Amino acid sequence: MAFIPVPNTVALTMVHEFLAQRLTNTLYLAYDRPITPFDLGDLVNDVIPLWSQQIMPRLSNQTRLVTISAKDLTAQNGLSFEYSGAPLPVAGGAAGPPLPSSVSIVLSLRTGRAGRSYRGRLYFGGFSEAQSDGNFFFNDLPTQLQNALSNVIAGLNNSTRTVVVVSRFFQNAARTVGLTTPVTAVVARTKRAATQRRRLPEN
């Protein structure tokens, strides 16, 4: 597939390790100007404490946040920055035997506009058996994560950058340039455990 540029927008990816699997979550941030190397490093520095304090305590202690990467999507060979130094890795806070790596909680990013082009989705994985009873999580964990992700987004937004939903397609056709729309809300789509089968090991 041909590269679709998203001007002045960064893909910020949090990379976790869980049960020898690589689990990732990506947020997109649109800037009000061209992106510089300083912007990427500054963004990574900002997200480390936010993700460590908001998200990681709600994941299994066998889940570790190991790397954060930031890439400018303005061009195919855009600026990129990857960090795995101190204070990484950061471990999750929930004790107990791990659930399968495919068990996930789905959070939806809303923009105040209708249609698939204006919604995002994140799958959070890396949980403990002590956090669930069959198909449901204890202590309304999906809502806890919804609030935690809302706090991360609020902490990342500032006068020059905004967390957005990126759309590269419209009615199954590729856009010439990606569309960005600011995120206005985070929604926990279900209280039940979801699944991402592709996260299961092949052997």
Of 59, 124, 51, 41, the closest CA to residue 96 belongs to 59
Question: How does pLDDT run across 50-60, given as a tens digit for each residue?
Answer: 999 999 999 99
Q: What is the distance between the alpha carbons of residues 13 and 171, in angstroms, rounded to a whole number? A: 27
pLDDT in tens, 132-153: 887 788 888 999 999 999 999 9
- DSSP string covering 107-168: EEEE-SS-SGGGEEEEEEE--BGGGEETTEEGGGHHHHHHHHHHHHHHHH--SSEEEEEEEE
Q: What is the pTM of this model?
A: 0.91
